[in-house]
Structure 1
Amino acid sequence: MKRVLLILSVISISVLTSCTNNASSKIKPENVAMANVRDAKAKLLPVMTFDKTNHDFGIIDEGDIVEHKFTFTNTGNAPLVIISAKGSCGCTVSKWSKEPIAPGATGDMLVTFNSNGKPNLQNKKVTITANTTTGKETLKIKAMVTPKKKSVASGIPLSK
């Protein structure tokens, strides 16, 4: 028991004496200046603000190809550059302007969904990589795809 008290006393004394240094004296003025410049630049990033980020195509027939145009505005303080837009599967394709979008300007992202081979409820995402603060933006689409009718004998889809 005496050993435990002795060890605790030694630890307490070393903790109390090690915290006597003034931490503010260790701050270098050049580091503060660099942090201020960095923080000022962080405010000069583009912001991709969409009118809406979800779209429901409703009920469509399997094999239909549908598209929706998502509109966005650069509400930030720097030109917006879209690097890529990838769908969660090969059935979703996106098209966008390759030119930088100035602050205050609007742009469009055309998302196309091919429902061939995708019966029933479909939920897909498009992940946009851009020079925004988050670096990634997400759009979502969904559709209820009515399956093609199949012939009972062959299992082959009947044409419309």
Structure 2
Amino acid sequence: MRVSWRPLAALLCWSLLLSCSSEPASAPGYEAPEELGPNASIIRSPVAESAEEPDTVTTARIEFELVEHAFGEVKEGTIVKHDFAFVNTGKTPLLITKARSTCGCTVPSYPEEPIAPGEGGIVSVAFDTKNKYGRQRKPVTIIANTYPAMTTIYMDGTVINEKK
């Protein structure tokens, strides 16, 4: 006796189609910012989920004294360090959530606590020139509760290889 799999396959497909709902998947429940921790309301402040236009008036604003540090010429193997000073010129506390570079040779550090309006802080950057030669321009992207959410600062200069 030979069994045909076609009717069984058709029945399986039909039952899978009928078991799917046409309703969209439900989103996780809303949690009030105070339930998520002390910085949650700060992180959510620049763009309200329900707003058509982002709130650019009452947000935090990060303003650096200089966005580029020109370190000139250095010997290969030197670690170049610079502190980028900034001020929160906005109307709400500033919270930096991340600072990242394009490679492991450039390492940023930043304040993890909120910076009040009118107060300042420092983003420190260390650039290791080991195995780097020639002109170098290393960006560091700061991600914060500002609008726009990303600000870029730069380490710029020339690394000289005296071994050649």
Off by >4 Å, runs of 4+ in structure 1: 37-42
Mapped to 1, the partners of 2:54 and 2:163 lie a distance apart of: 60
| Residues 92, 40 of structure 1: alpha-carbon distance in 2 compared, 3 angstrom cutoff | closer
Which among 131, 151, 160 is matched to residue 137 of structure 1? 151
TM normalised by structure 2 equals 0.66
Mapped to 1, the partners of 2:102 and 2:162 lie a distance apart of: 23
Mapped to 2, the partners of 1:81 and 1:135 lie a distance apart of: 11
1:84 and 2:126 equivalent?
no
1:114 and 2:128 equivalent?
yes
Query: Corresponding residue for 1:43?
Result: 57
Query: Corresponding residue for 1:64?
Result: 78
Q: What is the RMSD of the two structures over their aligned residues, measured on CA atoms?
A: 2.0
Mapped to 2, the partners of 1:41 and 1:139 lie a distance apart of: 24
Mapped to 2, the partners of 1:56 and 1:41 lie a distance apart of: 34
Tell me the number of residue pairs that the alignment of Structure 1 and Structure 2 aligns.
115
Structure 1 gaps of 5+ residues are 1-34, 151-160
- 1:110-137 deviation per Cα after TM superposition (whole angstroms, max 9, x unaligned): 0110000001110110001000010000
Mapped to 1, the partners of 2:127 and 2:112 lie a distance apart of: 21
The one-letter amino acid of 1:107's match is G
Query: Corresponding residue for 1:128?
Result: 142
Deviation at 1:41, TM superposition (A): 5.4
TM normalised by structure 1 equals 0.67
The one-letter amino acid of 2:99's match is A
The one-letter amino acid of 1:63's match is G
| Residues 91, 40 of structure 1: alpha-carbon distance in 2 compared, 3 angstrom cutoff | closer
Structure 2 gaps of 5+ residues are 1-47
- 1:35-91 deviation per Cα after TM superposition (whole angstroms, max 9, x unaligned): 9x9579542210001101011110000000010000000000000000111012111
Mapped to 1, the partners of 2:91 and 2:134 lie a distance apart of: 43
Higher Cα radius of gyration: 1
The one-letter amino acid of 1:125's match is P
Which among 110, 113, 134 is matched to residue 99 of structure 1? 113
Identity in percent: 40
